[in-house]
């Protein structure tokens, strides 16, 4: 017979709302959120949240690496020993990342050669673990992208899709693509890419527009073919003009309507996107906004210059640039900090901001019945937040994890306090 855990003396955040003094129940056998048991004697564990806030665990759908681990860091020359070391490093990094409140992520592999995908993608098969941040499946960003919007992607890996399905499987591997991938980012103007969107969608993979020079009309065509997301809005795409909206115009398109408007990733670190433009995008379509870290493996490491493949990245605080250039090379800001930034810059409540990294993120990748909500049947992946939006504890499938999201300032944020 199942036993249950009761979380009490707490306020719940879900659906962008605050549900005051509402208990939450977890089935200890399935580690899923449940209805209250008919027999109260089955409640074997009671967790007093001490008036804090309980929310779904955060989801980070674009993340290039963490705690020194580059998610793309295997290749054709990697030995079995290298693969074993990578496996150990991966598990350790994902264990550490859980302490930030991110209970599931899409490990992101930037543009690469087929042998790299062959080696790394099996690690990112969808998981359900109590000891580390889960993988939702890989986010493969490239190599079907535009040279003019390459960012820090290695151009020698770029390809077109003129050979159609055969090319797609040659690059990623058919079984790897189907079994281990959640999101595929490509530029729709690259020859052959538009025709591949329905195939990608048929494999239950989200097709996202990114690293692109596509105009608005091409973006519309891509959405009509099945694209449902935009990768890191504003970055690596033409900037919007009032007579030429570009891909950015898709987030509030009268032609598409609310149902077909794509979700959009937004890096709210104050480096990739100016706060005023964050606010503009969020307020254009709050229900489709998904905060992402776009973190590089340097997150959590000291400042300095680090080698990355054949390039060098300079880390100064949360700013990462290719050495000797002004080219951004990912981010180093945690997802909880991005949430707090959005609260401040868009003048919204904590529940509204949390929705962008829980509900919106889950729906964007079709996992709303498993993660990102406090609904019955969802995994008991939870975070305890204080009134300032800092994570106090993490619960992974009901298992308590200590938080590393420490409030180093005693200053109170009145906009966050207002939710209570």
Neighbouring C-alpha atoms within 13 Å toward the C-beta of 305: 5
- Would you say 235 is a known binding-site residue? yes
φ, ψ dihedrals at 322, nearest 5°: -65, 135
Cα 248 from Cα 234, distance rounded (Å): 7
Within 181-235, where are the H helices?
193-202, 216-225
- Would you say 335 is a known binding-site residue? no
Task: Name the token pair of 405.
Answer: 């999201």
20 CB burial (10 A radius; 0-12, 13-18, 19+) = exposed
- Would you say 138 is a known binding-site residue? no
- Would you say 184 is a known binding-site residue? no
Contact between 113 and 197 under an 8 Å Cβ cutoff? The reply is no
- Would you say 11 is a known binding-site residue? no
Task: Name the token pair of 92.
Answer: 């350790």
- Would you say 330 is a known binding-site residue? yes
- Following CA atoms 72, 172, 106, 16 in sequence, which dihedral angle do they give, to the nearest 10 degrees? 150
Q: 10 Å Cβ neighbour count for 162?
A: 12
Let me know if 294 is a catalytic residue.
Answer: yes
Cα 213 from Cα 238, distance rounded (Å): 6
- Would you say 369 is a known binding-site residue? no
Closest CA to 188 of 173, 174, 198, 175: 198
The active-site residue, picked from 134, 294, 381, 405, is 294
b/e for 45-55, b at 16 or more Cβ within 10 A?
Answer: eebebeebbbb
Q: Which residues contact 311 (CB under 8 A, 6 or more apart)?
A: 152, 154, 322, 323, 329
DSSP one-letter string for 355-375: HTTTHHHHHHTT-TTTSSS-S
State the DSSP H helix or E strand holding residue 407, giving kind and residue range, or none if neither.
none
Contact between 232 and 267 under an 8 Å Cβ cutoff? The reply is yes
> Which CA distances in Å does 132 have to 207, 274, 321, 383, 411?
27, 32, 29, 14, 31
- Would you say 136 is a known binding-site residue? no
- Would you say 236 is a known binding-site residue? yes
Which of the residues are catalytic? Answer: 294
Q: List binding-site positions.
A: 141, 152, 211, 232, 235-236, 243, 272, 328-330
Q: List binding-site positions for Zn(2+).
A: 141, 211, 232
Q: List binding-site positions for substrate.
A: 152, 235-236, 243, 272, 328-330
């Amino acid at each position: 017979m199942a036993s249950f855990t009761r979380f009490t003396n707490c306020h719940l955040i879900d659906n962008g709302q605050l549900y005051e003094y509402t208990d939450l129940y977890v089935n200890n056998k399935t580690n899923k959120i449940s209805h209250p048991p008919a027999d109260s004697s089955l409640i074997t564990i009671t967790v007093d949240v001490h008036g804090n806030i309980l929310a779904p665990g955060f989801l980070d759908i674009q993340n290039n690496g963490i705690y020194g681990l580059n998610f793309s860091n295997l290749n054709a020359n990697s030995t079995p020993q290298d693969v074993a070391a990578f496996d150990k490093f991966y598990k350790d990094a994902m264990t550490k990342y859980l302490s930030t409140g991110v209970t599931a992520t899409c490990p992101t592999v930037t543009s690469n050669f087929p042998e790299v995908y062959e080696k790394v993608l099996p690690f990112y098969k969808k998981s359900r673990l109590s000891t580390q941040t889960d993988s939702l499946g890989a986010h493969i960003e490239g190599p079907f992208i535009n040279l003019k919007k390459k960012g820090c992607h290695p151009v020698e890996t770029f390809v077109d899709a003129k050979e159609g399905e055969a090319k797609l499987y040659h690059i990623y591997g058919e079984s790897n693509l189907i079994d281990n991938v959640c999101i595929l980012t490509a530029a729709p103007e690259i020859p052959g890419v538009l025709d591949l969107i329905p195939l990608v969608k048929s494999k239950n993979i989200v097709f996202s527009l990114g690293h692109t020079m596509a105009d608005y009309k091409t973006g519309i065509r891509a959405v009509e073919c099945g694209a449902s997301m935009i990768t890191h809005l504003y970055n690596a795409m033409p900037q919007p003009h009032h007579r030429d909206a570009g891909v950015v115009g898709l987030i509030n398109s009268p032609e598409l309507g609310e149902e077909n408007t794509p979700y959009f990733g937004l890096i709210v670190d104050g480096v990739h996107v100016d706060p005023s433009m964050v606010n503009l995008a969020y307020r254009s379509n709050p229900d489709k906004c998904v905060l992402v870290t776009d973190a590089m493996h340097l997150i959590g490491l000291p400042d300095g210059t680090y080698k990355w493949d054949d390039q060098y990245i300079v880390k100064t605080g949360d700013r990462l640039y290719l050495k000797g250039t002004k080219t951004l090379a990912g981010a180093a800001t945690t997802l909880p900090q991005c949430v707090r930034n959005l609260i401040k810059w868009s003048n919204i409540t904590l529940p509204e901001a949390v929705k962008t990294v829980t509900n919106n993120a889950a729906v964007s990748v079709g996992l709303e019945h498993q993660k990102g909500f406090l609904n019955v049947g969802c995994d008991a992946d939870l975070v305890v937040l204080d009134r300032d939006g800092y994570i106090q504890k993490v619960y992974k499938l009901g298992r308590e994890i200590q938080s590393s999201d420490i409030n180093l300032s005693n200053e109170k944020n009145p906009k966050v306090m207002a939710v209570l």
